[in-house]
Amino acid sequence: MSEHKRSIMAWTITGIVIAAGVGVLIAGLLTPVTFGWFAYQPLADATFVPDAGGVFLSQIAIIGWVILTIGLLTVAFLVGRHTARARSNRPDSESAS
């Protein structure tokens, strides 16, 4: 397989991974998270229930973040590889003169 076809395949797979990560992340963020924790202070006769100010992520949202991170790291790798190849294929300025 030629190098150009491998490069196109790598970018396509990376795009699919990023799209899947975003899709799973959105599905995870739209899923309601139940949180059943409370604290009871018997001497003060008070009950503490956390308010909606906290951020609670579902396992689906965490998996979406992981998939998205893997896709973005792959993009960084592919851009670095492309940049390195472009520099190695460029004629040196010292040898041209």
The token pair at 38 is 């409370």
* Per-residue pLDDT tens over the stretch 3-22: 889 999 999 999 999 999 99
Alpha carbon of residue 89 to chain centroid? 32
What pTM value is reported for the model? 0.70
Whole-angstrom Cα distance, residue 15 to residue 54?
32
* Per-residue pLDDT tens over the stretch 55-96: 678 889 999 999 999 999 999 999 999 999 888 887 775 555
